Amino acid sequence: MRALGGIIRLSVLSEGGANSMVGENLPRSLKWQPALEGWVPSALTTANLDDAAARLTVLDQRLLPHSIDYIDCFTSKQVCDAIEELAVRGAPAIGIAGAFALVLWAKNEWPVIREAKRQANPKSDVDSVTVFASKLEQRGREIAAVRPTAVNLAWAINELVAPARMAAYRGESADRITDDLEEHACQLMEDEIYSCKLIGENGAVIISTLAQRLGRPLRIETHCNAGALATAAWGTATSIIYHAFENGDVEKVWVDETRPIEQGARLTAWELEQAGVPYTLISDNMAGSIMGQGLVDAVIVGADRVCANGDVANKIGTYPLAIVASYHGVPFFVAAPHSTFDKSLVTGDEVVIEQRDATEVRCMPYGHQWLPIAPTECDVFNPAFDITPNELITGVITETGIEFAGE
């Protein structure tokens, strides 16, 4: 990775003591509502789940910035649909949502499946905790496959399935394991919120150093939405921006619109406006122009996967942005929690890149509608992500400091 004038070789940059309020009170993308005490499934169908049942409430990001609406998800399928259809998006948020999808399967769906099997065959071994654990793992694999590029989804599923497997081996009951799953998922969410806050504090130290060198606040460019909407709170890239802005070290943010889904225009611009951070929206192909004019001091983006060698998978368009930044000598930072790191993949060449529907390129999103902008049957290539080689990245800012910083 590219060194930044030799300034950064740190393991921990922050003690976690900052009290920044900028960006702290944005609407949460995910809310978990436990079942009311004493609630049990009342019939052999999940269609009868009611307001007393456990649910994951998702902020429908497809409708932003024009409407703030929430979706109540009572089943794992409803959560998976929300993930696949981009009602919830962003690697950390997808991971948390996937964890709660597994919890909902165990709490709301498995009892119905078990009762149906019991009635069909009274001698079935469906009450065995081994059967429950096996079905749980199977459902976990299905959830993890919904969006394969974002490693946080598979990571979160494994964080729940691995201890559940051990608990089943010890002979603990399915009900006990289910309660533990819920507690663990809630803890993952809290841990992710704290990690994002630390990323912001650590990144703010770097931004402060750059601002001191320049003798003025920075103009930062960002791509897609690595904000509070993409996590449980704070965001990754935006957490750094919020904390640095609170310190007086950010003048403005250049927001790439981020075709084809316009996450920058619809989501990041909305977030920054809510937080009171000055920003300017630009089309993706303007980055080279503004950098060439010396109008960008640093780039900060998020990540969907960080490989062992430091290659980064992120929203399509990140790679060319890194190339332009490298050409113009602009520091290029990635902000990501350790849950986004995948040491099992040596390089970015091994990352499975999700291919999305052609409609996303042929049309422009507007709420739940797609407005045509191209011939209706034109051929389309629509990879959701690209790979940025590690040599184009100044450093990956995490909850513990900065990774892969060059000398």
Determine contact, residues 129/173, Cβ cutoff 8 Å. Answer: yes
Determine contact, residues 62/367, Cβ cutoff 8 Å. Answer: yes
Nearest Cα residue to 224 out of 86, 367, 371: 86
- Judging by beta carbons within 10 Å of its beta carbon (0-12, 13-18, 19+), is residue 23 exposed, middle or buried? buried
Q: Which residues are CB-neighbours of 83 under 8 A, at least 6 positions away?
A: 89, 94, 97, 98, 101, 146, 147, 153
Q: Give the amino acid at 364.
A: M
Q: Which residues are CB-neighbours of 38 under 8 A, at least 6 positions away?
A: none
Rg (CA), the chain: 22
Determine contact, residues 177/106, Cβ cutoff 8 Å. Answer: yes
End-to-end CA distance of the chain: 9
How many CB atoms neighbour CB 329 within 10 A? 8
Q: What are phi and psi of 268, to 5 degrees?
A: -65, -45
Catalytic residue among 256, 304, 311, 386: 304
Tokens of 327: 């050409």
Q: Which residues are CB-neighbours of 120 under 8 A, at least 6 positions away?
A: none
Active site residue 304: yes
Query: Helical H runs in 145-275?
Result: 151-169, 174-214, 237-246, 263, 269-275
How many CB atoms neighbour CB 214 within 10 A? 13
Catalytic residue ranges: 304
